[in-house]
Structure 1
Amino acid sequence: MRRRAAVLPRRLLALCGVLACAAACGSPGTGDDGRLPAAPAGVTATAGSAGSVHVMWDAVPTTPRVRLYEVYRGTAKVAQVPASEHMVDVTRLRPATGYVFTVRARDGEGRLGPPSRPVRATTPAAVAADDAAPTRPGPARGRVIGSREVPLSWSASRDDTAVLSYDIYQGGSKVHSVGGNQTATVLTGLRPGTRYAFSVRARDAADNVSPPGGTVRLTTPGTDDGRGTAPTAFRAGCHRADGAYYLDLSWTVPRTDGVVTEYQIRLDGQSATSLVYGGDAPRGRARYSFYVGREAGVTHRVRVRARLPDGTWGGFTAERSVTTR
């Protein structure tokens, strides 16, 4: 016996169509238009030693907002970093071996964008018992061509085997790396109106690192009041334990092109302490408590700033006052 298909009223059919469209397109106001993150651009891969390759890329535009980046060696995912980071060292590689790397962005909804163009790097052969570091590179030279980028150059180092890469430092922070066949690069992502001090170190296949070459000091044009680089949502409280008082601080980590691993805390107008994280630096909310004495009724003024991935200090938070009680 054949059954007749049920016929839905036209109004119900129209309603079903609206609901299907809403499910497929997302509700208004979410800002999600269904697009995948773009493929990362500017991807480079440089051997850092006989067993590692340094991969870098440009940030993907934030529509849709990127949550993290995934790095692939061939078809295997070998690293995953938060959206604030745009470089990673891929380790545990084989000496004298060619590798192909791609980078993909994943958004807040978990959607994975297309891969970047593939880039190739070959690790050098392992060198037995190499304890000799490369010679010091020639002094860094640079000039300001804009408020956010600086071209640098230097003279080549010498090594008993070969210089594999050059690491560029701003102060004591490594901010960039290029292959050993390069003696020039362009640093981007800088801040307007900021003083920089760049130096270069050479590295060989055995991870021996040279002393730094001469420092070049530059100031980018423009102004920067620091508000865009300061930690936000800064809170300060107090608690008493074993007869002593402690300040309890919390803040939201500033959004930067990299991981913030160091903070400076100023108490009553003077530097009180530096807070340095290792590989477990917080990505969202940071918290810290420290001793301020045993006397009740004392009012303290406190604020915090972060050392940014470009090696400079960002802006201070708003100052908070806390009274021990």
Structure 2
Amino acid sequence: MHRPPTAAALSVTAALLLTACGGPDADRAKDTARPTTPTGVTAQAGSATSAHVMWERSTDDTAVTGYEVLHDGRRVASVPAARNMVDVERLAPSTAYRFTVRARDAAGNLSAPSAAVSVTTPPSVRDDRTPPTRPPALRGMVEGTGAVTLTWGRAADAAGVTAYDVYQADSRVHSVPGRATTARVTHLRPGTVYTFTVRARDAADNSSPDSPSVDLTTAPAAGSGPSTAPTGLTATARPGGVALSWTPPATGAPVKEHQLFLDGALATTIVWGAQPPPGPVHYTFTVTDRPGTRYTVKLRARLPDGTWGDFSAQRTVVTR
């Protein structure tokens, strides 16, 4: 005969269900450890109405999920954990600001605020629509497996350069004040080729054209093999298309496939039906966008073991 469960049995069942449903929420509830305080915080004026704030990444016993930037204790920006910089916008010209940064984890624990850094925005410049000149003579030096130092010549601007922005593969990775002509970029991967450019910015937030690019390859990690990136990539605009040339990596066997990436996204796989040439190879693709469209281009090769190798340096091309 079936009997309904007793109150005691229901109580035990409820306890078991609560235990079983503990999961991640219960783990987060138990997490009371705060992330470490961000260090190395810097701030410089990007324009008359913006400031660029950067910092070193924090650590946590589980994981840092984001950062908050505060001005006089009030949050003015939030970014995910993958980023360690932000532009704080809508500031007042000729005004002093003090910024701090704190880290946040998945349980909502906040680190202590960083040491405060001060910055003063420059005066506004009315009707300034002329960008600075292109920064000249970009050069770079590799520092081991994870850092590079870049140097360049000064750009010119009628009202003065307020900042230089460093870009890697079209993403800004660093900014320095307008009086500086050098930057150190860290947190890079070993044995990887990086393409850097620099832009100058003025108080009206006009940005210059890109400087000439520089390709830098970080040192390989201990025990790793040679680079598997294609080398010598060039991209030349032709009417209605773009012509590419490059040298496949030395793999000990013919490289029959390459993946072509446009603006960071996979565009096509290039397959040679016959024996590919051993030296430089050439490929032309058609573009349908209007003349003046800007593309970034990079490649990687399929290795003999079937995996995809390292990316080539990135090239920028403007259609004709």
Compute the TM-score of the two structures, normalised by the length of structure 1. Answer: 0.60
Aligned partners of 2:31 and 2:107 also within 8 Å: no
Instruction: Give 2:122's aligned amino acid.
Output: P
Quick one: distance in 2 between partners of 1:92 and 1:78?
10
Distance of aligned partners of 1:145 and 1:125 in 2 relative to their CA distance in 1, 3 Å threshold: same
Classify the secondary structure of the residue corresponding to 1:161.
coil
Aligned counterpart, 2:104: 106
Distance of aligned partners of 1:208 and 1:148 in 2 relative to their CA distance in 1, 3 Å threshold: same
Aligned counterpart, 2:46: 48
Aligned counterpart, 1:295: none
Instruction: Give 2:212's aligned amino acid.
Output: G
Classify the secondary structure of the residue corresponding to 2:37.
coil
Aligned partners of 1:139 and 1:215 also within 8 Å: no
Structure 1 unmatched ranges of 5 or more: 1-26, 226-260, 271-302, 313-325
- After the TM superposition, which residues 57-96 of structure 1 pair with which residues of structure 2 at under 5 Å, given as runs? 57-96=55-94
Aligned counterpart, 1:173: 171
Aligned counterpart, 1:164: 162
Instruction: Give 2:125's aligned amino acid.
Output: V
Aligned counterpart, 1:124: 122
Percent identity between matched residues is 46
Instruction: Give 1:68's aligned amino acid.
Output: G
Quick one: distance in 1 between partners of 2:45 and 2:81?
23
Choose 200-209 or 57-66, whichever is displaced more. 57-66
Classify the secondary structure of the residue corresponding to 2:162.
strand
Give, in angstroms, the shift of residue 173 of structure 1: 2.5
Distance of aligned partners of 1:107 and 1:171 in 2 relative to their CA distance in 1, 3 Å threshold: closer
Classify the secondary structure of the residue corresponding to 1:94.
coil
Aligned counterpart, 1:147: 145
Aligned counterpart, 1:289: none
Aligned counterpart, 2:266: 264
Compute the TM-score of the two structures, normalised by the length of structure 2. Answer: 0.61
Quick one: distance in 2 between partners of 1:46 and 1:34?
34
Give, in angstroms, the shift of residue 64 of structure 1: 4.0
Quick one: distance in 2 between partners of 1:30 and 1:79?
24
Give RMSD over aligned pairs.
3.4
Aligned partners of 1:139 and 1:216 also within 8 Å: no
Classify the secondary structure of the residue corresponding to 2:129.
coil
Aligned counterpart, 1:205: 203
Classify the secondary structure of the residue corresponding to 1:43.
strand
Q: Deviations over 1:16-40 (max 9, x none)?
A: xxxxxxxxxxx9x999674311110
Aligned partners of 1:266 and 1:304 also within 8 Å: no
Structure 2 unmatched ranges of 5 or more: 1-25, 226-262, 273-306, 315-320
Quick one: distance in 1 between partners of 2:64 and 2:158?
44
Give, in angstroms, the shift of residue 140 of structure 1: 1.0
Q: Which runs of 4+ in 1 moved over 3 A?
A: 29-34, 265-270
Quick one: distance in 2 between partners of 1:79 and 1:162?
27
Q: Deviations over 1:209-249 (max 9, x none)?
A: 11222222211110579xxxxxxxxxxxxxxxxxxxxxxxx
Residue correspondences, number: 219
Classify the secondary structure of the residue corresponding to 2:143.
coil
Instruction: Give 2:78's aligned amino acid.
Output: Q
Classify the secondary structure of the residue corresponding to 1:185.
strand
Aligned counterpart, 2:16: none
Instruction: Give 2:137's aligned amino acid.
Output: P
Classify the secondary structure of the residue corresponding to 2:40.
coil
Aligned counterpart, 1:186: 184
Classify the secondary structure of the residue corresponding to 2:43.
strand
Quick one: distance in 2 between partners of 1:129 and 1:170?
31
Aligned counterpart, 2:34: 36
